[in-house]
Structure 1
C-alpha cells in the first residue's frame, strides 16, 4: 500500500498543495468505469475521467472520494470498500503542488447503472486492455494518465511475475 503524506485538506494558499482524490471503480468482470467530461466542464472538456475531485477544506481524501463518487455517479461505497491504489505529488501549473490519491473499489455483481452529474456527459465500462488504450495527450488529466500507467504496470507485473493469476 502506498504511503499517504497528507490526512486533511487545507485551503490552498501560496505554495500550498491542491488535493484531489480519484477512484478506479472495477466491476465483477474486471471492467473499469471511465467517465467522459461534459463540454461545460472547466478542465479538459470531453476528456476521459475517473470519479473523484477536489478534497474540500477539513475533509480527508477518503471522505472526499466517497462524496465525489456519489455526486458524480450515484454509486455509494463504505470506507472499507476503498483502498489506496497509488498517490502522486506533482508541480501544478500555478506554481503550487498537485497532490492526489487514487483509490480502488470493487462493485458487487455486474456493472451498475450510473446517474451522471452535470460534470460528465457519458460513461463506459472498459476492459483493462481497452482502458490501457485510452489516448494520453498533453491535455489528459494527470490522475487519469497515472491510472492508465498503473493498470499497465499491474498487467505487466502479473504477466511477468505471477502468470498463474491469469
Structure 2
C-alpha cells in the first residue's frame, strides 16, 4: 500500500537497534568489554547503523572492538527495550560467537579510545559488571547457547 506521497513505511516509527556477540571460553565464562564512556561493562557489540543488518553490525562491531574477523553463529536473543528518560525504545540482538580458543583470544586488540579492557567472566561476575538489564540478557543468551534455543525478551525478561 502506498500513499500519494510515496512509501507509507517512511512515516512509521523507527526503533533503535543494537547487536552483540556472546563469546565463551572452554570453561563457559563469557567475554565482556569495559567501555571508556559507560559505568557498566558490555557484551562486544554496538549500534546497528542505517541500512545495516543486525548480523552485519555484530560482525563489524567485533572487528572494531576486538580486532577479530569472525562470522557469528545463530541468533541467541532478541530483547525489546522499553523507552526510558533520554533513550528511545530499542530492539537488541545477541548472536553466538562460539568458544574462543587461546590463539583467538591472544589476537584480541582493543581500541584504546573506546574500551579500557576485556575479561572472561562467570555469570555471577557478569551480574556485578553488567547493568541489570544486560546481565539478564547475557544470562538468557548463555542459556540459549547451551540449549540450542533462541529467547525473546522484553527488558531482559522472558
* SS of residue paired to 1:48: coil
Gaps of 5+ in 1: 1-12, 159-166
Q: Return the offset for 1:50.
A: 0.9
Give distance in 2, aligned partners of 1:98 and 1:15: 11
**RMSD (Å) for aligned C-alpha atoms:** 2.9
The size of the alignment, in residue pairs, is 133
Q: Which has the larger radius of gyration?
A: 2
Q: Return the offset for 1:129.
A: 4.1
Whether the 8 Å CA contact 1:14–1:96 is kept in 2: the answer is no
Aligned residue number for residue 7 of structure 1: none
Q: TM-score, normalised by structure 2?
A: 0.70
Aligned residue number for residue 58 of structure 2: 65
* SS of residue paired to 1:106: strand
Q: Return the offset for 1:90.
A: 2.0
Cα deviation code 1:44-89 (max 9, x no counterpart): x2411111111011110000010001100111212xx421111111
2:15 aligned with 1:20, yes or no? no
Cα deviation code 1:69-114 (max 9, x no counterpart): 1100111212xx4211111112222573211111111144226132
Aligned residue number for residue 116 of structure 1: 110
Alignment of 1:43-122 (within 5 A): 45-78=38-71, 81-93=72-84, 94=86, 96-110=88-102, 112-113=105-106, 114-117=108-111, 118-122=113-117
Give distance in 2, aligned partners of 1:90 and 1:108: 29
Out of 34, 38, 52, which is 1:36 matched to? Answer: 34
Give distance in 1, aligned partners of 2:50 and 2:132: 22
Give distance in 1, aligned partners of 2:67 and 2:16: 25
